[in-house]
Amino acid sequence: MDPEHGCIDLGGAYVGQKQKRVLKLVKEFGLELYNINEKEKTVLNFRNSWSKFSGVIPPFWNPIKLLDLNHVLRTIDNMAKEIPADAPWKAPKAEEWDAMTMKEFINKICWTL
């Protein structure tokens, strides 16, 4: 828990149908999966301001924020390409990325947050 901001990082939140290895672990450890809420609104807390929205992407009034979100997602995709699936600790920047919190990552690459 981050006492300054009251955030708790619980790790990965979503598992897709193509993530066979993760699904195998879920079954092996007897874990329970929950469907995501696609019919009702999603709650977002952004800079201590609460809002609700429908869909996958929060409706930012500023189009630059959408470009920034796209930049974050593309950066994560490009980083993932550098990580060997069978030995992620061997990625060229494994130690650097492992030592970085999500907050540090966002602060490093986001323009609008």
- The answer to whether the predicted template modeling score (pTM) of the entire model surpasses 0.75 is no
Rg over CA atoms, the chain: 17
Averaged confidence pLDDT in the chain: 81
CATH code for the part of the protein at 20-109: 1.10.405
State yes or no: pLDDT of 6 exceeds 60: no
State yes or no: pLDDT of 38 exceeds 80: no
State yes or no: pLDDT of 16 exceeds 60: yes
The segment with the largest mean pLDDT, out of 40-44, 62-66, 93-97, is 93-97
Nearest CA among 36, 42, 45, 38 for reference residue 12: 36
Taking only the tens place, the pLDDT of each residue in 69-85 is: 889 889 999 999 999 98
* Every domain of the chain and the residues it spans: 20-109
Do 42 and 54 form a contact (C-beta atoms < 8 A)?
yes
Amino acid sitting at position 95: E
Angle at 18 between CA 82 and CA 16, to 5 degrees: 90
